[in-house]
Structure 1
């Protein structure tokens, strides 16, 4: 039997009237349930989001509080570390020296190098009886080397527990040596014979005060031994650090003393030096030359003078306005005075010569950061030579490489120079 269109429509109408209301109610209930479920989920999500927002806000507030505490602690630590922390050498105000004009001196000719590895940190150089002597470091020990001027025949003369800062030969062959050790500075007498080398401690304190940092020594034909003490502050981290400290602080507590081996007495020759870093004795002129690190000058004082003050009566400024901070001094056979420079003149330091706050902050910096304040580049003057009698400048020795000049020594037509951090000696023709 076929169902016509009319019958089909009637069947659909009857089915819709019979099933439609139930289906509509079921759909309505399902939609309401879905809406309730969706609303509950939305409420849960909103509650969770609100909880997360509250937690984020709480964490943010805690972080802000911790940040404020950290910033305050950092500020307090910075103020303490750079301004309030006690330092051994408090800076004093001073007047920066003038800058010398060009001298017109000739530039020394290029030379070469002598490799001294594994020895490092060459701190002093001397010539004696055709031999070149050098004080250096070997591991943690100091040692005194002897070699030919061309570097051959190198041998160790002696070793010490401390840093050899300088040494000098007396006419009788005795070596007078200054060292810096954990207990402080020392002046030793070194004798050698067929039985070996003997080292005798002669001076470790003056008037009850420990010798802080002796940096230079010179001997006279009458047996007198002149030596310097860089400054009154203790040198806890070596000579280089002590030099930077005195240069920045400018305490003016450096001194020169004379030791009488026969009487075993020590007398004061000169005080008030802002870093007594070098010494040279001209016996013919009966004059003692003393390099003043912070004042960028070289003082001249009579060898017989006692209890003089730098710049006062009986002590004249022989050379002033130097282009760098002078260190080791040396006289050649003709009486020409050679001046080495530890660092080039620092404009920052001398611009704040009259102010102690920033210089005090610089003194509280770490060793590495302090090293960045002073430098001697390859383009700076490393050393100069002057005729003391006339004051005429003879020659200039250029930098060649970076690093402070720790020692120099003229030998015949050469001048040997040691540079901090290197294992070799440089030499130039003069």
Structure 2
């Protein structure tokens, strides 16, 4: 019995030592979080996103970002490709292969594709693709700013002026070095050192500059109707910023008139932002808020401990379908949810005349919803 107790003590002591002392990749810091509002008010629980119809993606997965252009759906998928197909799913073909994981993309005035890819090349960056198929030319536009690398290029939008606005979600965890886009995002949000940035690239001067810094995983970005402001999703802080395109190196810790929070204390993690019709801006809440992350905001040691658990036990909230349309004042216009999470990790909506195409980080097909059914 004594030997058994001694062996049990050794095992328990080893387990405690592992949980407290084993090295982890994150260095969490304390942060302040408002109590979650839950699914109330404009975000009252509903099932209006349930029962999506789907289009086959073949062997591709994760339609993370979608652009509808000239009768084609262009879709960024996890194989490193951007595929296109007709709205009924026909004519599917690969038009771009970056060799990484394209996330946000847009088209410039010449019809070239501008792509934020955190896994192409040495550590990702902002790229411009011309041609298609075997004749594609992929040009690196920028992969650094202020002598620091752009580690996690994420959302991107092209202004009428030709300037390109995009996010560098983390300077700590690059997707290529840390197990992919989702894994790196989890590490960055749990650590919460807020190293992300909103950037501008000017093709005329080839200069890259910082508009807003010290963000916790800045993600999707969209322009205002007049191109004078940007809407930016700060995933790790559950909020949306409105930033003037004239902003210069503003810190999110000490915001100025050129950068202010438009929506805050959201019930989930905002991801992509997409302009829709009739003044709508669409946001996807890729995951609901989790009690562990909020409750451990002031306990960095507890978040470090959680990273010593098997990956399957990391504090990642369950799937919950949720997309929201808001106007430029931050007023919620439409809220669509599917609590079952049958269509997982909803990142945003691409709006066409008769359909809403639902973006997703990991879905095996492309979901869509008739706009009349959605209430539009």
**Alignment partner of 1:73 is 2:73:** no
Counterpart CA distance in 2 for 1:405 and 1:151 is 20
Indicate if the aligned counterparts of 1:344 and 1:376 stay in contact, CA closer than 8 A: yes
Larger radius of gyration: 1
- TM-fit CA distance, 1:263: 1.0
> What secondary structure does 2:188 align onto?
helix
Counterpart CA distance in 2 for 1:109 and 1:429 is 12
Indicate if the aligned counterparts of 2:19 and 2:308 stay in contact, CA closer than 8 A: no
**1:306 match:** 248
Counterpart CA distance in 1 for 2:307 and 2:154 is 21
Counterpart CA distance in 2 for 1:344 and 1:272 is 23
**1:332 match:** 276
May I ask how many residue pairs the two structures share in their alignment?
Answer: 359
Alignment partner of 2:86 out of 148, 151, 171: 148
**Alignment partner of 1:395 is 2:331:** no
- TM-fit CA distance, 1:300: 0.2
- TM-fit CA distance, 1:114: 0.8
Unaligned runs of 5+ in 1: 1-59
Q: Aligned-pair RMSD on alpha carbons?
A: 2.5
CA separation of 1:302 and 1:69: change in aligned 2, threshold 3 A: same
Counterpart CA distance in 2 for 1:110 and 1:401 is 8
TM-score by length of 2: 0.87
Alignment partner of 1:97 out of 26, 34, 54: 34
Counterpart CA distance in 2 for 1:208 and 1:368 is 37
CA separation of 1:92 and 1:152: change in aligned 2, threshold 3 A: same
- TM-fit CA distance, 1:69: 4.3
**2:72 match:** 131
Alignment of 1:295-374 (within 5 A): 295-310=237-252, 312-313=255-256, 314-370=258-314, 372-374=315-317
CA separation of 1:68 and 1:110: change in aligned 2, threshold 3 A: closer
Indicate if the aligned counterparts of 2:125 and 2:153 stay in contact, CA closer than 8 A: yes
**2:374 match:** none
> What secondary structure does 1:327 align onto?
strand
- TM-fit CA distance, 1:192: 1.9
* Partner deviation per Cα, 1:170-216 (whole Å, 9 max, x = no partner): 12211111112273222111112799321111212223322211111
- If each structure's helix is expressed as a fraction of its own residues, which one has the higher value? 1
**1:8 match:** none
**2:117 match:** 179
* Partner deviation per Cα, 1:197-236 (whole Å, 9 max, x = no partner): 2111121222332221111111111111111011221231
Alignment partner of 1:208 out of 121, 141, 147: 147
Structure with higher RCO (Cα < 8 A, 6+ apart): 2
CA separation of 1:230 and 1:366: change in aligned 2, threshold 3 A: farther
Alignment partner of 2:326 out of 386, 397, 422: 386
- TM-fit CA distance, 1:256: 0.6
**2:208 match:** 266
